[in-house]
Amino acid sequence: MIKTEFIPIHEENIGEKSERAIIEKAGKILSEGGLVAFPTETVYGLGGDALQKKSSEKIYAAKGRPSDNPLIVHICCMEALDKIVKEIPKEAVTLAKSFWPGPLTMILQKSDAVPYETTGGLDTVAVRMPENKIALALIKAAGGYVAAPSANTSGKPSPTLAEHVKEDLDGRIDMILDGGSACIGLESTIVDLTEKVPMILRPGYITREMLEQALDMEVAVDRTLLESGSKQAPKAPGMKYRHYAPKGELTIVSGKPETVTEAIRHLAQEKKQAGERVGIICTDETKALYQADCIASVGARTDEEAIAHHLYAILREFDTKQVTCIYSEAFSEKGMGQAIMNRLLKAAGHHVLEAETILKK
Ligand code: TXA
Ligand code: MG
């Protein structure tokens, strides 16, 4: 066990002396090979110096993460890209102009400066320039290259609050910077630019349509994301693991909204009678219709941003309330809805029930 310092920091005051002192201290920890968790606009990251083998090894150990699952290298300016990649394709320049700093990660051919420990043995490297000002200042103070996976224990939902990081990593890392709630709440979109056609390996806030519009060309989507139970391995090694898994068994119920509510009411009552502690993930419109041990609304049904923002915190809350069985309404797959359903399906181990079928029984 090491002592983990927990330090509040305010994004809006990042230029001020007090916050600068914190950033300098955190940056020094990183350049000396230590680990610091920090906020980004997507989720909290667990940072280590991306160019030091030892730091990456420490990240894997702290998270309990398999070492074949590569890390994302975070940079704070476009000039920093040269050193870590072999070449910068023109698509990368276009996407950086449109979406950096922001929730987009690009896969490019790595240069020798990036150790294989950081890329999980791959010849490619994932790069992102985050938008959060605390993150940008920290990357700069650390020397420009911060490897950062989501700051959760492997297998738990990504942290959207510093308290989540503390729950998972207290005593395992040097410092946690508490910059409040991560505004998006889902991890960045990952796009692979190492093949002829750009391909989305992980959906996120930046949608396929947005990428296609910026590039003025078609963008592919990794097939394994579209087929549930696909036998082929996903191109992003991390997508093969059953991430984001709550302790309770999660089932998604899909169908017409009225039938979904009816089916979940029915299933919840059945489980309750069988002695289970039941949790329900629903929307503001349907919340009042349910009875269960724990009912959590993700927000208004049509507000994808609110759903993304609340989802992981709700999954964690169900764990602390010792819910054994969870039902979730399925959400629309429009826009960011695709990323939301991708994470929810993974959390549920692709367990989906059709509302109509349940009601017919
Ligand atoms: O929003 C985010 O991206 C957050 C914040 C902290 O920036 N980070 C994050 O990192 O989600 P992580 O490690 O939890 O997820 C990184 C994903 C994994 O699925 C990993 O397999 C994939 O990116 N990845 C990393 N490098 C790759 C590469 N060279 N080729 C293919 N996939 C890669
Ligand atoms: Mg992760």
**Amino acid letter at 50?**
A
Contacts of residue 24, defined as CB under 8 A and 6 or more positions apart, other chains included, come to: 141
Backbone angles phi, psi at 68, to 5 degrees: -90, 5
Atom of ligand 1 at shortest distance to CA of 122? 29
**Rounded to an integer, what distance in angstroms lies between the CA atom of residue 37 and that of residue 159?**
10
Q: Which residues surround ligand 2, an ion (CB under 5 A)?
A: 150
Is the omega angle on the peptide bond into residue 101 within 30 degrees of 0, that is, cis? yes
d(CA 215, CA 220): 12
- Ligand 1 atom having least distance to the Cα of 125: 29
User: In which order are the strands placed within the sheet that holds 352-354?
Assistant: 294-297, 278-282, 325-329, 249-254, 352-354
Which has the closest alpha carbon to 317: 267, 342, 281? 281
The residue among 30, 304, 288 whose CA lies nearest residue 186 is: 304
> What integer pLDDT is reported at residue 224 of this predicted model?
82
- What atom in ligand 1 is closest to the CA of residue 150? 14
Ligand nearest to the CA of 312: 2
Q: How far apart are CA 61 and CA 67, in angstroms?
A: 9
Which helix (H) or strand (E) is 8 found in, with range? strand 5-8
Q: What is the pLDDT of residue 296?
A: 97
Which among 182, 176, 180 has a CA at the least distance from the CA of 160?
Answer: 182
Question: CA nearest 150: which of 117, 95, 190, 113?
Answer: 190
Q: From atom 20 of ligand 1, which residue's Cα is the shortest distance away?
A: 238
Ligand nearest to the CA of 240: 1
Give yes or no for residue 234 CB within 6 A of ligand 1: no
Residues 6+ apart with CB under 8 A from 356: 255, 256, 259, 263
269, burial (CB in 10 Å: exposed 0-12, middle 13-18, buried 19+): middle
Q: Which residues of 197-216 are buried (b: 16+ CB within 10 A; e: fewer)?
A: ebbbbbbbbbbbebbeebbe
pTM given for the model: 0.96
Query: Is the separation of the CB atoms in 27 and 138 below 8 Å?
Result: yes
Confirm or reject: Cβ of 40 under 6 Å from ligand 1.
yes
pLDDT given for residue 153 in this prediction: 93
72 Cα–ligand 1 center, Å: 5
What is the distance between the alpha carbons of residues 7 and 22, in angstroms, rounded to a whole number? 8
Q: What is the pLDDT of residue 18?
A: 95
Cα(329)–Cα(304) distance, integer angstroms: 14
Token pair 């050193």 is found at 83
Residues of the chain with pLDDT under 50: none
Angle subtended at Cα 38 by Cα 33 and Cα 43, rounded to the nearest 5 degrees: 130
Please, are residues 45 and 151 in contact by the beta-carbon 8 Å criterion?
A: yes
Whole-number pLDDT of residue 334: 86
C-alpha 279/C-alpha 324 separation (Å) is 8
Amino acid identity, position 77: C
- pLDDT for 34: 98
Pair 239, 225: CB distance under 8 Å: yes
**Predicted local distance difference test score (pLDDT) of residue 243:** 64
Q: Is the CB of 125 under 6 A from ligand 1?
A: yes
